[in-house]
Structure 1
Amino acid sequence: MTRGPTLPAHHLPYLPKPLDAFNTAPADEARALLLHCLHSPRWSDRIADHRPYPDPESLLAAADEAAYDLSPADLAEALAGEPLPELPEDTYSAAHTALSAAHAAYEARFGHAFVIYLGDVPPGEVIDRILEAIRSRLANDPEEERVTAAEELRRLARGRLLVQLRGARPASLCGCRHTGATSHNAPATGR
């Protein structure tokens, strides 16, 4: 079978890759984007100050390392910045009541927001997974829960960073809402 003539290539304007945009953004924009991922100035400063990153894997490794190095005060600050999770619109009121009661019990016991990474959970299972995790983690002692919450924050930050970088544009590197990364469809959710 013979092919017809090939059309000339269309030249599209150069659009930088999201990592390139992040690497070359002004420091305050990079820090603002990072604060949307994890509300810790120390974490965001550390990652922004070590730019440029050669590839996304290097950026994610740096984000993980910086999250592991958070002090208890940094962790408390990051937890304080976590929003409530957005639930599917068709969630019935009894689920909201159960979640509110569970969140209140958790915060009364541990003194901070409940956080959980839900990036791999199907939307229809979000409520059950949150309730199950809160009930299970209420049995933790405070130190064990601090370690668990720190790991969940690290996973949240990593997932949010991936979402941010997928949509980053040079002119508006930090143009997303913090709560947008916490919906049931995004890879993260907070208290």
Structure 2
Amino acid sequence: MTRGSTLPAHRLSPLSGRLAIPAQSRTSPAPPLGGFNTAPADEAHRLLLACLRSLRWARRIADHRPYPTLDALLAASDEAAYDLSPGDLAEALAAESLPGLPEDAYGAAHMALDAAHAAYEARFGHAFVICLDGVPADEAPDRVLEGIRSRLTNDPEDERVIAAEELRRLARQRLTGSIRAAGL
């Protein structure tokens, strides 16, 4: 007994065997990187050092240009930040300062923040760093003070890991802002 096909005959289109890739939506175009990619090395280093004061980090990112997209540049920034040696981390932390309070902040807030920061510096030997990306300006002072107070209880090695992560996030935020502001 022969069995007939249960499916209708199907003709292959002339495109069969080709991979169909759906078009990607472009809700917000990535900023162009042409200016950054083609800038002289010293100019690229200056821009990068304004984002994170580590010579090794800046050199590594600048030396690996060109980057096709902002996402690729940020991935390289993250990777370089993860690879910071203790000396590189100390170099970057030495150049950081506590985020400033808004002009209209009351005097007690300044005193509380200054005292907490002094205690942090005395314990860990460097400025407190925190990335406030996405935090409303009116909440920033409270977040900084809360962050210092909670991190003061950390073991120095644990705090080094947290500070390195905050520096990585800060570098990413600053780099994005610098590239967009410069129209690079």
Name the TM tier (shorter chain). 0.7 to 0.9
Residue type at the aligned position of 1:133: G
TM-score with structure 1 setting the length = 0.79
Using CA pairs under 8 Å that are at least 6 residues apart, name the structure with larger relative contact order, 1 or 2: 1
- 1:104 is aligned to 118
**Residue correspondence of structure 1 range 156-175 to structure 2 within 5 A:** 156-169=170-183
Q: 1:66 aligns with which of 54, 77, 80?
A: 80
Q: Is the 8 A contact 1:107 1:113 kept in 2?
A: yes
- What is the DSSP-based 3-state SS (H/G/I as helix, E as strand, rest coil) of the residue aligned with 2:178? helix
User: Highest CA radius of gyration, 1 or 2?
Assistant: 2
TM-score w.r.t. the length of structure 2 is 0.82
Deviations along 1:133-173, whole A, 9 cap, x unmatched? 00000010000000000000000000000000001157xxx
TM-superposition CA deviations, 1:54-110 (whole Å, max 9, x none): 111100000000000000000000000112312111001110000000000000000
User: 1:39 touches 1:78 (CA, 8 Å); kept in 2?
Assistant: yes
Q: Is the 8 A contact 2:61 2:80 kept in 1?
A: yes
CA contact (8 A) 1:18 1:167 kept: no
> 2: distance between equivalents of 1:133 and 1:25?
38
- SS across alignment from 2:102: coil
Question: Equivalent of 1:45, from 35, 46, 59?
Answer: 59
Identity of aligned residues (%): 72
d(CA) in 1 for partners of 2:69, 2:117:
38
The unaligned stretches of length 5 or more in structure 2 are 1-30
1:126 and 2:144 matched:
no
- What SS is found at the alignment partner of 1:37? coil
